[in-house]
Amino acid sequence: GESVGLHLPTLSVQEGDNSIINCAYSNSASDYFIWYKQESGKGPQFIIDIRSNMDKRQGQRVTVLLNKTVKHLSLQIAATQPGDSAVYFCAERGDKIIFGKGTRLHILP
Amino acid sequence: NAGVTQTPKFRVLKTGQSMTLLCAQDMNHEYMYWYRQDPGMGLRLIHYSVGEGTTAKGEVPDGYNVSRLKKQNFLLGLESAAPSQTSVYFCASSDPTSSETQYFGPGTRLLVL
C-alpha cells in the first residue's frame, strides 16, 4: 500500500551544521511533496514544497531534493539554529495526501 | 490575519459525552480539513470540505460529524466520545486556486476518560 516514512525518528545536529532529514515514499504516482515543521504544542507549518517535475527546490536556508528513481525526498537545513528544533514531516500527494510520522530534530549547543 | 484558529485549546470529556470543536479561518479559503494526530502516526484526515455547505469523509471518519454552514467555519462534532478519540485535532485550510499548501491551526488537545 501507499506509505510515507522517515529513515530516522530522531536527528541530533550541532548548532551551525547542516541538517538532512530524509523521507521515503512508495506511491510512484505522487506528483506533489511537502515538508512541514511542527514545534512543540503548535500546528504544522509549511516549509517548502516540490512538484514531481523538479528534482531540487531551494528556499531560505532550506533545500528539498526529490529522487523519483528511488522514491526519496530529503530536506536540507543550512546552518542549523536552535529555532530549528522541531518535528519535521513530509507529505505526498497522489490520489490523496499522506503524511509521514515525523523526525525530531534536536540541536546540540 | 489570524490565519486558522481553533477552540477550545484543551478539553477533557467523559466517555459518552458530546462536544463540538470549532475551526475558523480568515483567509477566504475554499477547502477546509480536520485531522487527528496520534503518537507514532502521521496526520490522518477525518473529514474535509471543498466549499460552504459541502463535506466529505476522509480516512478515519467514524465517530465524527462535521458541518460547513459558513465558508470561514468548519465544525467537528463528537456525538458520543470514546477513549479512542483521545488525540490532538488539527484543522487546516487551503485555497486550491492559488496554492496547494494547507495552513494549520494550533490544535485542540482532547482527552476522553
pLDDT tens for B85-112 read: 999 999 999 998 877 789 999 999 999 9
Tell me the one-letter amino acid at B39: P
Q: Is the Cβ of B98 closer than 8 Å to some Cβ of chain A?
A: no
pLDDT attached to residue A7: 45
Q: For residue B106, which residues of chain A lie inside 8 Å, CB to CB? A: 41-43
Instruction: Select from A25, A87, A96, A99 the residue whose CB has the most chain B CBs within 10 Å, as the one to mutate to test that interface.
Output: A99
Distance CA A82, CA A15 (A): 7
Grid-cell match 506533489, residue found: A32
Whether residue B45 is predicted with pLDDT greater than 60 in this model: the reply is: yes
CB contact under 8 A, B43 and A99: yes
**Cα B39 from Cα A85, distance rounded (Å):** 18
B42, B103, B106 ranked by CB distance to A99: nearest = B42
- Those residues of chain A whose CB sits closer than 8 Å to some CB in chain B are 4, 32, 34, 41-46, 49, 89, 91, 93, 96-102
Round to whole Å and give the CA distance between B46 and A21: 27
* CA pair distance B60, B62, nearest whole angstrom: 6
The fraction of chain B above a pLDDT of 70, given in percent, is: 99
Q: Which residue has the cell 516540490?
A: A50
**What parts of chain A have a pLDDT lower than 50?**
1-7
Q: For residue A36, what are the β-bridge partners? A: A46, A89
Determine the residue of chain A that is closest to B102 in CA distance: A46
